[in-house]
Amino acid sequence: MTGSDDVRSAVALLAERFSRGELTDRMVKESDHYPEVSFQTALYKKAKDVGFLDIFTAIRSENTSEALASMAEILFAISRVDASVAAVLFGQAFAHQLLSSANMDGAVSELAFIATPLYEDPIDLPMSVMASASGDQYALSGQLNFMVMAPVANTFIVPAMLQGDLALFLANKSDRLQCSAPIISLGLRACPAADIRMGGCEGFAFGAGGKCKTPL
């Protein structure tokens, strides 16, 4: 067994123990009643404490394959008990990886949930959001549907068109970026989603296209 195999085995064991200890039948059933019940924020604090979120942000490290393999072990073990929790962790991994690719690892706290269009490729979405220059900043206007984690997030990764190019923006919830009520689906209710509407909210361009500060 190689060192990488040892690491993956240890991560898998840790994820299984976390699932057994934290994802009780009662918690899983209760969480599935969101938004009638509160979102399980404390659960993700514990996930950070055991190092799961640190593994995700390590995707940018030199040993990318090992980080990805470790993430897969975590998601596999957790999804066997509660796929919603695995989806939340995957969504945060996806968001942090995008920011990490643009050298913006510290832009958002690991415990601050980030909303993304997780179930669609953000660079292959119908462009329903437009960005325009507003001094040294950008203003975003339009709508995005089914933004994962939007009901509990304060930070959003928003794909938008900027002078004919696709760009990715970081935006914060405000009176100019508002969320719909949580979308009630037959699936992962404990991984909440909502539509968002922007009316000239401030955005920071961080990836893709020659007009942005840091191309992906």
Block mean pLDDT (10 aa), the chain, length 216: 64 91 91 92 89 66 71 91 92 82 73 83 71 85 93 93 88 94 84 95 80 46
The per-residue pLDDT for 15 is: 92
Could you report how far apart the first and last alpha carbons of the chain are, in Å?
36
Helices (H), the chain: 3-22, 25-31, 41-49, 52-57, 64-79, 83-101
133 DSSP β-pair partners: 138
Quote the CA–CA distance of 93 and 88 in Å, as a whole number.
9
CA dist list (Å): 81 to 23, 71, 87, 192, 209: 7, 16, 12, 18, 40
- Name the 3-class secondary structure at 120: coil
Residue 81: which of 26, 149, 24 has the closest Cα? 24
pTM (two decimals): 0.85
